[in-house]
Amino acid sequence: MPEGLLSGEAAWAAVKAGRALPLAGGPLAFTQIELIQRDARKRAAAGFAAPDFERSLRRQPAAMRRRLEALLDRLTARRPRFAGLAMDRPRIMGIINVTPDSFSDGGQFLDAGRAIEHGRRLVEAGAGILDIGGESTRPGAEPVSAAEEIRRVVPVIEGLHRSGAVISIDTRHSSVMAAAVEAGASIINDVTALTGDPESLGVAARSRAGVVLMHMQGEPRTMQANPRYREAALDLYDYFAAQIETAETAGLPRRRIAIDPGIGFGKSVAHNQDILHRLALLQGLGCPVLLGVSRKSFIAKLSRGEDAGHRLAGSLAAALWGLRTGAQMIRVHDVAETAQAVAVWQALASP
């Protein structure tokens, strides 16, 4: 796990001086690395200065050295373009819920015309990606048929695709994925990490689209009942490693995959905090990280119990924390406010 993160000019000066290594080839660098090993009985960790870790590899047995060298390569290598977008700067994904029951804005954009107009405003405000969903996955949400989902989202995708927007389809159903890609979507964003529908993995592999694998413990109706983990951040890392291996075997290469830790999806406030504190750990998988924290209930639980419409400040704080710890993309409702916050953060980090 990379630690001692630096940004902007300080990061590159430290890399040039040999005191740090670049994180994901981007604007961050790390000066320390914690090597975590665990099995069924114990967990062990060892800390190294980042340059010393490279030298320590020479003393490892051959098999372990190869594993650690691959890990270090994934931590430091520049991320490939995702859905045509360079991952060398923060990307904002704007949310468009074409649903009657989403937790924050359900019903506001159920009409296709209003949803298209809203999407165009989000692009003008700074969204590089538009994430369009036709089924709510809030805690306790009831499922929606694939046919109804398609009816809701395809006209919106077609309308915004004609405007030149980069479109993501937020769905867990393979038939919706296929219809959305045909309509112009270039990203498939699945809260089940392609496990919720037996056809999803094949559809995603054949689509040539970028794919976001999200972690969710359980399913929307029950996921917040009693989520349990040994260690949340480490459990997510192991989960994603297995899902990426499965995807690669099925013909979906790592270069087309991004990962989303699924904040609030089958996780307590403590679990969310652990994952956010160790978010840089996920860079060891070699994929861009998408973080969705916008208006989520953990913000209110850490604050004063605000409703979803009054969580902007907390959403911005959590989003900037995510960028500071390595996330390449952030999924948000409030695009203009987020774009302003990101612009100021970048300017202050790179004097």
**pLDDT of the residue at 191:** 96
**pLDDT of the residue at 59:** 79
Is 331 part of the annotated catalytic residue set?
yes
- Cβ burial, residue 190 (10 Å; 0-12/13-18/19+): buried
DSSP code at position 289: B
| CA neighbor of 121 nearest in space, from 109, 133, 139, 138 | 109
Query: Among residues 91, 152, 296, 311, which one is catalytic?
Result: 296
**pLDDT of the residue at 82:** 98
Does the pLDDT of residue 235 top 90, yes or no? Answer: yes
For residues 202 and 252, what is the distance between their CA atoms, to the nearest angstrom? 9
| pLDDT band of 333, cuts 50, 70, 90 | very high
Does the pLDDT of residue 106 top 70, yes or no? Answer: no
| CA neighbor of 254 nearest in space, from 292, 211, 303, 315 | 211
Question: Which residue matches tokens 């949400």?
Answer: 141
For residues 246 and 229, what is the distance between their CA atoms, to the nearest angstrom? 22
Chain-wide mean pLDDT for the chain? Answer: 92
Query: DSSP letter string over 9-26?
Result: HHHHHHHHTTS-EEETTT
Does the pLDDT of residue 211 top 60, yes or no? Answer: yes
**pLDDT of the residue at 143:** 83
Alpha helices in the chain (DSSP H): 8-16, 50-56, 62-76, 112-125, 146-162, 174-183, 200-207, 232-249, 269-277, 297-302, 312-324, 335-349
Q: Mean pLDDT, to the nearest integer, of 132-152?
A: 88
Is 296 part of the annotated catalytic residue set?
yes
Q: Mean pLDDT, to the nearest integer, of 6-11?
A: 88
The pTM of this model reads 0.94
For residues 24 and 226, what is the distance between their CA atoms, to the nearest angstrom? 34
Query: Among residues 138, 256, 278, 331, which one is catalytic?
Result: 331
DSSP code at position 42: -
pLDDT digits (tens, 9 = 90+) for 249-291: 999 999 999 999 999 999 999 999 999 999 999 999 999 999 9
Read off the tokens for 246.
Answer: 């499965």
Best-predicted range by mean pLDDT (57-66, 125-134, 137-146): 125-134
Integer distance in angstroms from the first to the last C-alpha of the chain? 27
